[in-house]
Amino acid sequence: MGKPKAPTPPDPKETSAASTGTNISTAIANSWLNNANQVTPDGTITYTKSGEEKITDPYTGKTYTIPKTTVTTQLSAAQQAIKDQTDKAQLNLGTLANNQSSFLNSYMAKPFDGSNEAVEGRLMELGRKRLDPLLAQQQDQLTTRLANQGIMPGSAAYDRAMAQQGQSANDAYNQLLLSGRGQAFAEAQAVRNQPINEITALLSGSQVSAPKAQGYTGSTIPTTDNAGLINENFNQKMNIYNQQMAQSQGLLGGLFGLGTNLIKASDRRLKTDVERVGKTHDGQPIYAYRYRAGGPMQLGLMAQDVEKKHPGAVIDTPSGFKAVDYRKALSLGA
């Protein structure tokens, strides 16, 4: 048997192209499976092919066609009527807000004035109506208490007590003033922000929601592992090749053994049950056969074949039959 030829390894680009093409076609199929047209109480959702886009793989140079999909949402008659009315209302509110906001340029250009003397004055007036009688009562009670204790006007103790009473009254008036000031500032700020709040409210009109379809789970197409199949095919070819190589080595090993030991009668006329089983590295047929005189199956060459390739390896015997010098026939040297 001659030396078999090893299979050619698969081209990585062809393997990549096979895998990429399958992945793209599978993704497209999955996309259509997972995007079924849907009908809901609020409307319908429809998927349609609206064009194609071609992409080229920079590695393999292969071009693939990718479909473009358009998703169309169609509201039911009732939902469409609601949307139309809502859109009109939002348009009116937006127009009103736009008209009202035109004055903000001049309005916001004015510095904010947090003072409100009218409010402060009114609060002071109301506060003193309660605070003044209370302070007067406290003054009378203090005077009576000092007199009962024998502390007379003009004394140091009398002056200290009156000074403390005056300080308490002053603190009460200051607190009243601060409270009035804080209230006045808050009211001024509310007046300042009111137009802005109104415009913001006009711009925040409600919106109608698109119909919500029920979730859809489509079938999934498994990706074909083309790269794995190609490599598996290569591995199978390699296994066959290795088996053939092992068989060839076995046959040649047997012949080489013959060549190192003898010159063998190899005339075709002396053999029977002849079957070709392989060839040598230089193309000479190898046969399995029996000698007509009897004996087991043997492995070897035919003198008539060897004579065509290596005539010097064939010997004509006195009996008229041909023999083969296996050392020369197999080019093993002298």
* Rounded distance between C-alpha atoms, residue 87 and residue 92, angstroms: 9
- Residue 58, amino acid: P
Do residues 207 and 86 touch, judged by C-beta distance below 8 A? yes
Beta strands in the chain (DSSP E): 38-40, 43-56, 63-75, 263-265, 271-279, 285-291, 298-300, 314-316, 322-325
Contacts of 272 (CB under 8 A, 6+ apart): 289, 290, 291, 292
* Rounded distance between C-alpha atoms, residue 87 and residue 124, angstroms: 51
What's the pLDDT at 194?
Answer: 75
Q: 217: number of CA atoms within 13 Å, CB side?
A: 0
* Rounded distance between C-alpha atoms, residue 315 and residue 309, angstroms: 14
* 289 three-state secondary structure: strand
Largest CA distance in the chain: 175
The 3-class SS string of 44-68 reads: EEEEEEEEEEEEECCCCCCEEEEEE
For residue 315, report the phi and psi dihedrals to the nearest 5 degrees: -120, 130
* Rounded distance between C-alpha atoms, residue 168 and residue 138, angstroms: 10
What's the pLDDT at 247?
Answer: 61
Tokens describing residue 208: 């109608």
* Rounded distance between C-alpha atoms, residue 272 and residue 292, angstroms: 6
Tokens describing residue 23: 């992945």
What's the pLDDT at 248?
Answer: 57
Cα-Cα-Cα-Cα torsion 140, 142, 144, 149, nearest 10 degrees, comes to -170
For residue 153, report the phi and psi dihedrals to the nearest 5 degrees: -55, 140
Q: pLDDT tens track of the chain, all 334 residues?
A: 445 566 777 777 788 888 888 888 888 888 888 888 888 888 898 888 889 999 898 878 889 898 888 888 888 898 889 888 888 877 887 787 777 777 767 766 777 666 667 666 776 777 778 778 888 888 888 888 888 888 888 888 888 888 888 888 888 878 877 777 777 777 777 777 777 677 676 666 544 455 565 555 555 656 667 777 777 777 777 777 667 666 655 555 555 555 444 677 888 998 999 999 888 878 888 888 898 888 888 888 998 998 998 998 898 888 889 888 888 888 765 4
